[in-house]
Homo-oligomer: A and B are copies of this chain.
């Protein structure tokens, strides 16, 4: 009924999910996303195609599912910012969650190639942009709540929070683009900082 310890069942499920994702990612990086069949992935982890689809709703989700976990972290990060902080600054700090994830040691080797697969595969890029869009919806809701709580609510038809959020996420994507285009040489954090410095809220 309520929250309990994850439970063994749940834990094995996540473990299998991770195993599939890792095997699939390796294949995607090696042969490309479209050239890799779900049957290939199933064979690689030794299960039936049907079972792969029991862990991931779609082939895309094998790659993009990772980002769902980040959404919660990002929202938590947003809620943790002081209520009177400038919105643009809060958004910038929220992106630190993504940055630190990209720079986390261990799977550093895979982050950039997968990133590249996402940006170079039309279906994946589209799915990724859509996930960012959903994330923006959640962020906008949070920003409105925050303004309400601060006693300075936005008018219902005020596009400000959504426009600010969209602009910030636009900068994020621009940063990822620049970063990949430069061969992922500099730090990702710098790329984000630089992109977000070029634009800002109007006085």
Contacts and interface: CB of A to CB of B under 8 A. Distances in A.
Chain A interface size, as a band, is 35 or more
B200 A199 contact: yes
A115 interface: no
A19 B191 CA distance: 46
Contacts of A33: none
A113 interface: no
Contacts of A199: 163-164, 167, 199-202
A35 interface: no
A197 interface: yes
Interface string A150-161: 000000010110
Interface string A173-203: 1110110001000100001001111111110
B162 A177 contact: yes
A89 interface: no
A178 B159 contact: yes
Interface in A81-140: 122, 125-127, 129-130, 133
Nearest to A191: B159
A122 B202 CA distance: 32
B160 A198 contact: yes
Contacts of A160: 198
10 contacts: A126-B130, A129-B129, A157-B186, A159-B175, A163-B195, A163-B196, A166-B173, A167-B168, A167-B199, A197-B202
Given A159-B191, A163-B195, A200-B200, 18 more contacts: A159-B175, A159-B178, A159-B194, A162-B174, A162-B178, A163-B170, A163-B171, A163-B196, A163-B199, A164-B198, A165-B174, A166-B174, A167-B170, A170-B170, A197-B202, A198-B201, A199-B200, A199-B202
